[in-house]
Amino acid sequence: MTDNERAFLQMLAVSEGTDGAGDRGYNLIVGGELFHDYSHHPDVLVTLNKRGLKSTAAGRYQFLYSTWCGLQKQLGLPDFSPASQDTAAIQLIRESGALDDVNAGRFDEAVAKCAHIWASLPGAGYG
């Protein structure tokens, strides 16, 4: 992993609000609960607000369970460990067409291309 990739992943964790929690956010369930078994995505459905918004987001990059299952199968990831989460996040960046931007230091372009994945990024449209 390149320095720019590590920096971009760190930015995502800070943006998602996971970096300071638990094990640097790798064991954080959306809403603040921590999990302790990295053998699998915790798949906990959390109600987030009074309007009934629900999410299964978990980990440093807040993977939805359905997204995680697809990435785990695609990449042959053995578990939900920090290394697997990092690998999966890089894959999402790659699939968004932003990996070259990340590595070239084109931060704004990379963020714009990834905004549809991470709700915390500017332009995400998640409200």
21: closest CA among 58, 48, 68?
58
The reply to whether 95 belongs to the active site is no
Of residues 5, 16, 33, 95, which has the active-site annotation? 16
Which DSSP string do the residues of 62-98 spell out, in sequence order? Answer: TB-HHHHHHHHHHHT--SS-HHHHHHHHHHHHHHTT-
- CA 17 → CA 2, 65, 69, distances in Å? 23, 18, 23
Residue length, the chain?
127
**Residue 46 CB coordination number (10 Å):** 15
Active site residues: 16
